[in-house]
């Protein structure tokens, strides 16, 4: 394939696409674009290991995400890609059995169930404890430290260039390539002038893993959303979803409450040593993720493709969104 012709590039261009943002969505877009023959640079304010993606519990589950056919397609594609990565033993990726405890509802299946091959609805396991039923399923779980390292390594081995630069405006990279992908997460509120972007503060507690293997969720717990996500050496306990809260300092009382809820849910965690308390700001957006060509673009006729606003579902939607970003980047551009 003639890469220059496919991307509509002129002579002398050394980078076809600039991806702004080095979190999981940005790196995934960059890797997918490389897979289609594009020469890609990633511009990021922080090293990938220092982005909010590093803090994510990172279990495939579209929490606080409204479903429609487009989002279901993103979720399904990402599920399939991560499942294949787990089969290939990509660092940090495993398939994790999960129990979602139900406190109400009309008995209908969630919109995303069609993406999960072994999804089933059952009666409560063990004492009901206010739960009316359970969803049981197996989904990809990702440890973001090794996974981000793997993504970055895959990107650089394929010739990708990582540039550390904090931008005041997206136009500052317009001269670098004919196409710019905006995967800046929370920063897109300023860089894209999008008032719908806002933080959703999440606090988690990390404890040593006493041998827990199954993820357990009690999203509608009246005391607060509750989830237990085991990893290879620790367990992520959560959590909170506080919209429009910017504070990244862990709150001790909130941490104790999270620990108490999670021990009540999974008694095996009683006595597990607390390793850390962390806070991250999910890049949420009213109306859901924006994956689209900007109608105005950038100076010089450069194409601007947005991919931000995934909230707490970045890992759940990343590969499907990246597939769509590739399609939006195709075709002739100015320059």
CATH of domain 3-329: 3.30.9.10
Q: What is the pLDDT of residue 105?
A: 77
Tokens 């790196």 correspond to 27
Per-10-residue mean pLDDT, the chain, length 335: 33 79 97 97 90 90 94 98 98 97 86 97 71 93 96 97 95 96 98 98 97 96 96 96 97 98 97 97 97 96 97 97 97 58
In tens, the pLDDT along 62-79 reads 989 999 999 999 999 999
C-beta neighbour count of 220 within 10 angstroms: 15
Indicate the domain borders of the chain.
Answer: 3-329
Cα–Cα–Cα angle for 157, 159, 162, rounded to 5 degrees: 95
Q: What is the pLDDT of residue 6?
A: 33
Q: What is the pLDDT of residue 224?
A: 96
What the block records as the tokens of 309 is: 């606003």
pTM of the model: 0.92
Q: Determine the Cα–Cα distance for residues 233 and 207; give it in Å rounded to an integer.
A: 9
Q: What is the pLDDT of residue 11?
A: 41
């Amino acid at each position: 394939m003639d890469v220059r012709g496919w991307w509509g590039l002129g002579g002398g261009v050394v980078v076809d696409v600039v991806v702004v943002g080095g979190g999981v969505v940005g790196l995934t877009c960059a890797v997918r674009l490389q897979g289609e023959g594009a020469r890609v640079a990633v511009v990021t304010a922080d090293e990938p290991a220092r982005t909010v993606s590093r803090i994510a519990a990172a279990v495939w589950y579209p929490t606080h995400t409204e479903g429609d056919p487009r989002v279901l397609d993103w979720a399904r594609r990402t599920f399939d890609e991560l499942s294949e990565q787990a089969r290939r033993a990509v660092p940090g990726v495993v398939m994790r059995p999960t129990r979602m405890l139900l406190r109400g509802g009309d008995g209908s299946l969630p919109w995303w169930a069609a993406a999960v091959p072994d999804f089933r609805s059952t009666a409560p396991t063990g004492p009901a404890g206010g739960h009316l039923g359970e969803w049981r399923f197996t989904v990809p779980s990702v440890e973001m430290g090794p996974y981000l390292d793997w993504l970055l390594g895959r990107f650089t081995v394929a010739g990708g260039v990582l540039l550390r630069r904090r931008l005041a405006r997206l136009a500052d990279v317009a001269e670098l390539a004919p196409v710019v992908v905006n995967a800046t997460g929370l920063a897109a509120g300023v860089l894209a002038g999008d008032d719908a972007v806002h933080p959703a503060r999440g606090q988690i507690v990390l404890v040593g893993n006493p041998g827990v293997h199954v993820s357990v969720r009690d999203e509608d717990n009246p005391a607060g959303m509750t989830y237990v996500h085991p990893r290879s050496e620790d367990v992520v306990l959560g959590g909170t979803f506080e919209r429009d809260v910017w504070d990244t300092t862990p709150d001790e009382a909130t941490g104790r409450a999270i620990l108490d809820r999670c021990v009540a849910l999974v008694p095996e965690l009683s006595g597990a040593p607390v390793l850390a308390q962390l806070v991250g700001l999910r890049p949420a957006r009213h109306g859901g993720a924006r994956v689209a060509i900007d109608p105005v673009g950038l100076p010089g006729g450069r194409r601007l493709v947005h991919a931000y606003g995934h909230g707490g579902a970045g890992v759940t939607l990343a590969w499907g969104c990246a597939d769509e970003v590739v399609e939006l980047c195709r075709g002739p551009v100015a320059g």
